[in-house]
Amino acid sequence: MSFNLKINGETRRVDADGDTPLLWALRDELGLTGTKFGCGVASCGACTVYLDGLPTRSCVTPIDSIDGEEITTIDGLSGKASAAIRQAWTEMQVPQCGYCQSGQIMAASALLAETPKPTDEDIDGAMEGNVCRCATYHRIRAAIHRAAEIQEG
Amino acid sequence: MFQGLTKRLPPEVKPTRRQFLVAMGGAGAGLVIGSRLDAIKVADAATGPAMINPFVIIAPDNSVTVLSKHLDKGQGAATGLTTLVAEELDADWDQMKVEFAPSNPQLYNNLHWGPYQGTGGSSAIANSFMQYREAGATAKAMLVAAAAQAWGVPAAEISVAKGVLSHASGKRASFGDLADAASKIAVPEKPSLKDPKDFTLIGKHVPRLDIPDKTVGAPIYALDTKRENMLVATIARPPRFGATVKSFDDKEARAVNGVVDVIQIPAGIAVLATSTWPAIKGRDALSVDWNFSTSENRGSDELWTEYRALAETPGQVFRDEGDADGSISRSSDYIERVFEFPFLAHAPMEPHDVTIEFDGKTAEIWTGSQLQSVDHYVASQILGIEMPNIQIHTLWAGGSFGRRAIYDSHIVGEAAQIAKISGRKEPIKVQWTREDDVRGGYYRPMYLHKVRVGFNEGGEIAGWHHRIVGQSIITGTPFEQALVHDGIDHTSVEGVLDSPYEIPNFRGELHTVKSGIPGLWWRSVGHTHTAYVMETMMDELAAAAGRDPVEFRLAYMKDKPRHAGVLKLAAEKAGWGTPVAEGRFRGVALHKSFNSYVAQVAEISLDPDSDHGFKAERIICAVDCGIPVNPDNIAAQMEGGIGYGLGHAIRNEITLTEGEVDQSNFHDYEPMRITDMPVVETHIVPSAEAPTGVGEPGTPPAAPAVANALAAATGNRRTILPFAKEGAGDA
Residues of B in contact with A124 (CB under 8 A): 674-675
Give the residue from A76, A109, A140 where a domain finishes.
Answer: A76
**With contact defined as beta carbons under 8 Å apart, do A101 and B215 qualify?**
yes
Assign residue A120 the CATH number of its domain.
1.10.150.120
Assign residue B54 the CATH number of its domain.
3.30.365.10
A10 & A69 share domain:
yes
A90 & A145 share domain:
yes
Query: Which of A28, A99, A105 minimises the CB distance to B221?
Result: A99
The whole-number pLDDT of residue B245 equals 98
* Beta strand pairing call for B614-624 and B679-684: parallel
B578 touches chain A (CB under 8 A): no
B4 has a pLDDT exceeding 90: no
Q: Searching chain A, which residue's CA lies closest to the CA of residue B674?
A: A137
A72 & A120 share domain:
no
- List Cα–Cα distances, B622 to B248, B568, B596, in angstroms: 56, 9, 11
What are the residue ranges of helices labelled H in B449-607? Answer: 480-483, 490-493, 527-545, 549-555, 561-574
What gap in Å lies between CA B458 and CA B492, rounded to an integer?
33
A32 & A66 share domain:
yes
In a domain, B28, yes or no: no
Angle, helix B702-714 to helix B631-651, in steps of 10 degrees: 50
Buried b (16+ CB within 10 A) or exposed e, A73-109: bbbbbeeebbebbbbbbbebbbbbbbbbbbbbbbbbb
A18 & A42 share domain:
yes
B730 has a pLDDT exceeding 80: no
Q: What is the mean pLDDT of residues B156-174?
A: 98
Look at B217 and A36 and tell me if their CB atoms are within 8 Å. yes
What gap in Å lies between CA B610 and CA B614, rounded to an integer?
7
Assign residue A11 the CATH number of its domain.
3.10.20.30
In a domain, B51, yes or no: yes
A3 touches chain B (CB under 8 A): no
B667 touches chain A (CB under 8 A): yes
Q: What is the mean pLDDT of residues B302-331?
A: 98
A68 & A93 share domain:
no
pLDDT tens column, B337-354: 999 999 999 999 999 999
B97 & B129 share domain:
yes
B620 & B659 share domain:
yes
Interface test with A, best of B224, B226, B349 (most A CBs within 10 A): B349
What are the residue ranges of helices labelled H in B625-666? Answer: 631-651
B520 & B591 share domain:
yes
**Of B30, B32, B50, B31, the residue nearest B40 (C-alpha):** B50
Which residue type, as a one-letter code, is found at position B625?
C
B26 has a pLDDT exceeding 50: no
Give the residue from A29, A57, A76 where a domain finishes.
Answer: A76
In a domain, B231, yes or no: yes
Angle, helix A137-152 to helix A80-91, in steps of 10 degrees: 130
Residue B729 — very low, low, confident or very high, per pLDDT cuts 50/70/90? confident
Domain that holds residue B533: 300-343+442-726
B505 & B407 share domain:
no
Beta bridge partners of B366: B355, B393
Interface test with A, best of B83, B209, B277 (most A CBs within 10 A): B277
Angle, helix A80-91 to helix A101-114, in steps of 10 degrees: 130
B667 & B626 share domain:
yes
User: What is B349-381 written as a DSSP string?
Assistant: SS--EEEEEE-SS-EEEEE--SSHHHHHHHHHH
User: What is A16-37 written as a DSSP string?
Assistant: S-TTSBHHHIIIIIS--TTS--
Buried b (16+ CB within 10 A) or exposed e, B197-227: eeeebbbeebbbbbbebbbebbbbbbbbbee
pLDDT tens column, A35-61: 999 999 999 999 999 999 999 999 999
**With contact defined as beta carbons under 8 Å apart, do B669 and A43 qualify?**
no
In the β-sheet with B259-265, what is the strand arrangement from edge to edge? B259-265, B268-273, B231-236, B428-431, B353-358, B363-367, B390-394
Residue B24 — very low, low, confident or very high, per pLDDT cuts 50/70/90? very low
Residues 94-133 of A with CB under 8 A from B: 94-102, 105, 123-124, 127-128, 130-133
B635 has a pLDDT exceeding 50: yes
A90 & A59 share domain:
no
Residue B47 — very low, low, confident or very high, per pLDDT cuts 50/70/90? low
CA dihedral A12, A15, A19, A20 (to 10 degrees): -70
The complex's ipTM works out to 0.98
Residues of A in contact with B214 (CB under 8 A): 95, 98, 101
A72 & A85 share domain:
no
What gap in Å lies between CA B558 and CA B618, rounded to an integer?
30
In a domain, B27, yes or no: no
A108 & A47 share domain:
no
Look at A39 and B665 and tell me if their CB atoms are within 8 Å. yes
B594 & B716 share domain:
yes
Instruction: Give chain A's domain count.
Output: 2
φ, ψ for residue A2, nearest 5 deg: -125, 135
In a domain, B731, yes or no: no
What are the residue ranges of helices labelled H in chain A? Answer: 22-24, 80-91, 101-114, 120-127, 137-152
Residues of B in contact with A97 (CB under 8 A): 73-74, 348-350, 396-400
A100 & A125 share domain:
yes
B205 & B68 share domain:
yes
Helix (H) or strand (E) holding B87: helix B77-89
Q: What is the mean pLDDT of residues B605-619?
A: 95
Q: Which residues contact B211 (CB under 8 A, 6 or more apart)?
A: A89, A90, A93, A94, A95, A98
A123 has a pLDDT exceeding 70: yes
Look at B673 and A131 and tell me if their CB atoms are within 8 Å. yes
A72 & A10 share domain:
yes
B383 & B488 share domain:
no
How many angstroms from the chain centroid is the CA of residue B76?
12
**pTM to 2 decimals?**
0.95
What gap in Å lies between CA B344 and CA B721, rounded to an integer?
11
* Number of neighbours of residue B580 by Cβ within 10 angstroms: 17
Give the residue from B372, B401, B431 where a domain finishes.
Answer: B431
**For chain B, what is the mean pLDDT?**
93
User: What is B243-289 written as a DSSP string?
Assistant: -EEEEEE-HHHHHSTTEEEEEEETTEEEEEESSHHHHHHHHHT-EEE
A65 has a pLDDT exceeding 70: yes
In a domain, B246, yes or no: yes
Give the residue from B431, B457, B481 where a domain finishes.
Answer: B431
**Of B100, B73, B594, the residue nearest B348 (C-alpha):** B73
- List Cα–Cα distances, B205 to B35, B628, B632, B696, B717, in angstroms: 33, 11, 7, 21, 41
B419 & B323 share domain:
no
In a domain, B516, yes or no: yes
A75 touches chain B (CB under 8 A): yes
Look at B665 and A41 and tell me if their CB atoms are within 8 Å. yes
In a domain, B109, yes or no: yes
Give the residue from A14, A47, A76 where a domain finishes.
Answer: A76
Q: How many helical (H) and strand (E) elements, i.e. helices and strands, does chain A have?
A: 5, 5
Report the SS3 class of residue B63. coil
Residues 427-486 of B with CB under 8 A from A: 433-435
Give the residue from B195, B214, B233 where a domain finishes.
Answer: B214
Domain that holds residue A34: 2-76
Instruction: Give chain B's domain count.
Output: 3
Look at A138 and B219 and tell me if their CB atoms are within 8 Å. no
Name the more confident of B223 and B22: B223
B515 & B530 share domain:
yes
